[in-house]
Chain A
Amino acid sequence: MSVTIHLHKSQRHLADGKASVDVAGRTVNACLADLIQQYPDLESQLFENSRRLKKNVEIYLNLESAYPDELAKPVRDGDEIHITLILSGG
């Protein structure tokens, strides 16, 4: 059982420079928990508190927006999660 999480560029230095990390879990939440277990410094980049994603974080599951209820979305073996950040600059 393996799911790949693609990190945003700004987060990679907190994961030994990796662009993606393989994790295990049956939901997006479980996968992110595994990611944080491997790289604890990522927690403050992703979560406002233990239950809520930070406001500027977007989750895509297999290239589809997972919003809303991102954390509850079920994942399967081979799925891909992309973490992106919402931008506002012009």
Chain B
Amino acid sequence: MLTHREKERYDRQLRIPEVGKEGQGRLKQAKIIIAGAGGLGAPAAFYLAAAGVGHIRIVDDDRVDRSNLNRQLLHWEEDIGREKTESAKEKLGRLNPDVIIETVSSRIDEDTVAAMVDRCDGIIDALDNFSGRYVLNRSAVTLDIPFFHGAVQGFEGRATTIIPGQTACLECLPRGEQTHAANPIIGITPGMIGCIQASECIKYLLRQGRLLENRLVIFDGLEMTWKEFNIKPRPECSVCGKKNRKRHHGDNTR
């Protein structure tokens, strides 16, 4: 049920046939994890909170640095030195007091990930490193949680949507290697990609549209083009291979 204030707040999207009261109810019931409150996490969090996703858990172990402010629009000059999760919670709470914002200020690794993603409906991969992404990807596939991947550098970004048991996962692609240099980046790029991730998440929750399943889109902000590539689950993938095989053979009981 939507309150009077919610009906006012979401009036313009309630008018979209693909949303409506039923869809808005689905958004309100949902619990989404945003892993990373940085360049990708900021737009994803703003748009999910504005759309009325009822419960958002933000995970980040970092503090705000002045060099973050060109792209991480959740954080402002006055937040320098603050925990990113605290800064994010304050802004999002002021934007939409009708959504629950929960924060976890710790690092995502093998030991912490299971508790972090526990009983959530989707994971936004807004991290800034490969190791955390692969941990999160494995956990998502194991626990059957949709995983909305995005990554950026410079004027270039990419996104794909991973539905466990149905699509390729991150480990079905070549495994990248971390460099130690600071990632060159301008805010418009994670702005675009974070919005793609939030769009995918909202579409998934609404059960509407066509997701980026087995599709990797690459955004080139300098050329202003989007290229779409097909990816497919690798049968021998150590993360999703077994689950995807099971789904394709024998498991016809669903």
Name A residues whose Cβ lies closer than 8 Å to a Cβ of B.
Answer: 9, 53, 55-58, 60, 63-65, 67-68, 82, 84-90
Contacts and interface: CB of A to CB of B under 8 A. Distances in A.
B130 A57 contact: no
A67 B174 contact: yes
A68 B234 contact: yes
Contacts of A53: 174
Contacts of B150: 90
A86 B231 CA distance: 14
Nearest to A53: B174
A56 B176 CA distance: 5
B29 interface: no
Given A65-B232, A90-B150, A58 B173 contact: yes
Contact count band on B? 35 or more
Kindly name the residue among B127, B176, B220 whose own CB sees the greatest number of chain A CB atoms within 10 A: B176
B38 interface: yes
B229 A87 contact: no
Contact of A9 (B127, B222, B230): B222
Given A64-B232, A88-B130, 7 more contacts: A55-B175, A58-B173, A63-B227, A68-B174, A88-B128, A89-B183, A90-B127
Interface of B: 36, 38-41, 126-130, 133, 150-153, 156-158, 168, 172-178, 183, 185, 190, 216, 218, 220, 222, 227-232, 234
A88 B173 CA distance: 13
Nearest to A10: B154
A88 B183 CA distance: 9
Contacts of A60: 229
Contacts of B218: 84
A89 B174 contact: no
The 10 closest A-B pairs by CB, nearest first: A86-B176, A90-B128, A89-B183, A55-B177, A87-B151, A89-B153, A87-B153, A65-B231, A90-B40, A88-B130
A58 B172 CA distance: 12
B229 A65 contact: yes
A71 to B, nearest CB: 12
